[in-house]
Amino acid sequence: NFGAALLRAVGDSVTPLLFLILSSLMNVALDILFVVYLDFGVSGAAEATVISQYASGAGIFIYCLFRREFHISGKDRVWSREIFWDMSKLSLLTSLQQSIMNFGILLVQGLVNSFGTTVMAAFAAGVKIDTIAYSPLQDFGNAFSTYAAQNWGAGNKARIRQGVITAGKMIFLFSILASCLVSLLAPTLMGFFVPETAAEVIAVGAHYLRIEGSCYLGIGILFMLYGFYRAIKRAEMSVILTILSLGTRVVLAYFLSSFPEIGVTGTWLSIPIGWALADMYGIIKGYKLMGWR
């Protein structure tokens, strides 16, 4: 991950992808060798993963050593308190954001569990489909973060604004496409994770996907805002947006689902509402910080 981040920072996103592909192929090959032919069982699958990860990590590290941009001389090997604190602040705040996000998800999961095993199974499968559907949106946000950070360092706010427009268009188009596919194919997608005999689970999961899946634009914008605020060294804003999004989601989920006529649908509705509120706050705050009109 460190090597991949270094390469992406200098505009090379192809090489990390190649190392990831090679690592994945090695993992599959070693899985077959260790589990099928050598009969190592579950431990063989674990060993295959570890070996492929170390091979990929060592490979990308050695590759970086030969890149001119990363050549380190004696004068570079000095302690910098400023750089240390900058990186610590960014890392700790990002870690806090992820922790808050997972804690909020646990609270929502606890509420979902109270509706019984059918809803639990539907939600578990729906979340997996969600993750696959909007993972590219998270990558758009990461790519925009790298781009914005480079231009922030160069003091080029005008180019950041151009990037906001371009990245926004990309996220909008992909979100609409993903929303249409997930909403239209919801029962079929549920069928990949749930047996066809579990018709009720598929129905509940499809209902969840049609509500949340139609609002992927909300989380796409949120990922972009996370990347933007990390890029301009305001990582605390990512924490605030996460608290706002998840706090709204948790409170609304418990409130709306308490009405019998709404039930578990209130839990599903609370998610895109939380995204929307965090998006509005993040966009307004971002424009003020950058002095844009």
pLDDT, mean over the chain = 91
Is residue 108 over pLDDT 70?
yes
Q: How far apart are CA 175 and CA 218, in angstroms?
A: 9
Structural contact between residues 16 and 3, judged by C-beta atoms closer than 8 angstroms: yes
pLDDT score recorded for residue 76: 80
Digit-coded pLDDT (tens) for 151-188 = 999 999 999 999 999 999 999 999 999 999 999 999 99
Digit-coded pLDDT (tens) for 67-78 = 888 887 878 888
Structural contact between residues 208 and 268, judged by C-beta atoms closer than 8 angstroms: yes
pLDDT score recorded for residue 174: 95
Is residue 214 over pLDDT 70?
yes
pLDDT score recorded for residue 293: 67
Q: Taking the C-alpha atoms of 225, 230, 233 and 239 in order, what is their torsion angle to the nearest 10 degrees?
A: 80
Digit-coded pLDDT (tens) for 133-156 = 988 998 899 889 989 998 999 999
Is residue 289 over pLDDT 90?
no
Is residue 94 over pLDDT 90?
no
Q: How far apart are CA 218 and CA 237, in angstroms?
A: 17
**Angle formed at CA 13 by CA 9 and CA 14, multiple of 5 degrees:** 150
Helix axes 157-184, 265-290, angle to 10 degrees: 170
pLDDT score recorded for residue 41: 93
Digit-coded pLDDT (tens) for 245-270 = 988 889 999 999 999 889 999 999 99
Digit-coded pLDDT (tens) for 54-67 = 999 999 999 998 88
Amino acid at 164: V
**How much is the average pLDDT of 90-95?**
86
Please report which confidence band the pLDDT of residue 43 belongs to, taking 50, 70 and 90 as the band edges. Answer: very high
Tokens of 145: 């973060």
Q: Taking the C-alpha atoms of 86, 144, 6 and 68 in order, what is their torsion angle to the nearest 10 degrees?
A: -110
Place of tokens 């790298």: 146
CA-wise closest residue to 87 among 230, 290, 246: 230
Burial 85-107 (b: 16+ CB within 10 A, else e): eeeeebeebeebbeebbeebeeb
Structural contact between residues 145 and 5, judged by C-beta atoms closer than 8 angstroms: no
**Rg, C-alpha atoms of the chain:** 22
Contacts of the segment 5-10: beta carbons below 8 A, 24+ positions apart: 6/64, 6/70, 7/60, 7/64, 7/67, 8/143, 8/146, 9/146, 9/149, 9/150, 10/67, 10/69
- Rounded to two decimals, what is the model's pTM? 0.82
Tokens of 13: 């996103």
CB under 8 Å to 200, separation ≥6 — which residues? 118
Digit-coded pLDDT (tens) for 228-244 = 999 998 989 989 999 99
**How much is the average pLDDT of 78-106?**
86
Please report which confidence band the pLDDT of residue 27 belongs to, taking 50, 70 and 90 as the band edges. Answer: very high
Structural contact between residues 179 and 216, judged by C-beta atoms closer than 8 angstroms: yes
